[in-house]
Amino acid sequence: MDNARFVDQLQRGGEALGLSLGEGVAPGLQRLMAELLKWNAKVNLTAITAPEEVLEKHFLDSLAVLPEVEGAASLLDLGAGAGFPGLPLKLARPALAVTLVDAVGKKVGFLKAAIAALGLKEARGLHLRAEGDPEREGIPRAELLIARAFMDLPDWLALAPAYVRPGGRVVAMLGKAQPESELAARASERGLRVVSSRQYRLPFSGAERQVAVFSQA
C-alpha cells in the first residue's frame, strides 16, 4: 500500500466512523504499520498482516473509540498485545498519557520498540500480568481503562475496577453487539453501571463492533 492510498483509506475510513483526525496521525500510523510488519516477519504479533486489513481492523478499529476516550488524561490498555487500541489512540491524542500492559514478553518488546520509533512521550509498555492487585503488580491506575477482545465481558468487569482511579471509567471493546439489558445485568453483578454503549461497523469490511463504557454504580 503506497502512501497516497494509505492516507486516502484512513481519511475515508475515519469519515465513515465520524472521526476527526489531525494531520500528524497518518504519518505516525504509517510508521507504526512498518514497525508492526517488520517485527511480525520474525515474531508472531498478529495474524492480520495485509496492510489494508491492518489499517481497518487494527488502526481504524482502535480509533473508532475516540469519542469514548475524549476528555481523559490517562489511559491504561490491559492485554495490549501489539498495541491496540492504545498506540493509535496515543497518536490521535498526543496529550493522552498511555500505559500498555501485556503478559507476553515479545509483545511488550515490540511495544517498547514502537514507542521509541514513534518518539512518543508519556507512553510506556509494561511486561506484567494483571490479576486484580495493581499495587503488587506495579500497574498504575488510570482515569480510563480499556481492552479490546482481552477476555469475556463478565471476567473483564470483575477485573477492571481495581485499575481505575476514583471517578474513572472502564471501556470494553466488543465484537458482536450485546443487548443493553445484558450489559446492564453484567455491570450490576460487579457494582457497576452502564454509562453508554454504541454499535458501529468497520468502514470497509462491515464487521460489527460495539463499545460499552462502565463506571462505579
Interatomic CA distance for residues 153 and 137, integer angstroms: 22
What are the distances in angstroms from CA 38 to CA 9, 45, 107, 140, 211?
A: 21, 10, 13, 30, 30
Rounded percentage of the chain residues whose pLDDT exceeds 70 = 100
Nearest-angstrom CA–CA distance, 139 and 23: 32
> Structure pTM?
0.96
pLDDT at position 176, please? 82
Q: How far apart are the C-alpha atoms of 183 and 154, rounded to whole Å?
A: 9
What per-residue confidence (pLDDT) applies to 1? 84
With pLDDT > 90 as the criterion, what percentage of the chain qualifies? 92
User: Which of 89-93, 173-177, 179-183, 201-205 has the weakest average pLDDT?
Assistant: 173-177
Per-residue pLDDT, 78: 97
- 144 is written with which cell numbers? 480510563
Asked whether residue 84 is marked as a ligand-binding residue, the answer is: yes
pLDDT band at residue 217 using 50, 70 and 90 as cut-offs: confident
Inter-residue contact 48 to 60 (CB < 8 Å): no
Report the pLDDT value the prediction gives residue 97, as an integer from 0 to 100. Answer: 98
Q: Report helix, strand or coil for 181.
A: helix
- Phi/psi of residue 76, each to 5°? -115, 120
63-104 pLDDT, tens digit per residue, is 999 999 999 999 999 999 999 999 999 999 999 999 999 999
pLDDT of residue 117: 97
Q: In the predicted model, what is the mean pLDDT of residues 202-211?
A: 96
- Is-contact 74 96, C-beta < 8 A? yes
For residue 149, is pLDDT > 90? no
Q: Is 143 annotated as a binding residue?
A: no
Comparing C-alpha atoms, which of 30, 13, 9 is closest to residue 200?
13
- For residue 76 the three cell numbers come to 491504561
Residue 193 assigned as binding residue: no
What confidence category does residue 154 fall into, taking pLDDT thresholds of 50, 70 and 90? very high
Q: Which domains does the chain have, with CATH numbers?
A: 3-216 (3.40.50.150)
Give 15-57 pLDDT, tens digit per residue: 999 998 988 899 999 999 999 999 999 998 999 989 999 999 9
Whether the ω angle into residue 179 lies within 30 degrees of 0, i.e. cis, is no
Which pLDDT score is estimated for 182? Answer: 95
The verdict on whether residue 130 carries a ligand-binding annotation is yes
Is the pLDDT confidence value at 157 over 90? yes
> Binding residue per annotation — 56?
no
Supply the mean pLDDT for the chain. Answer: 95
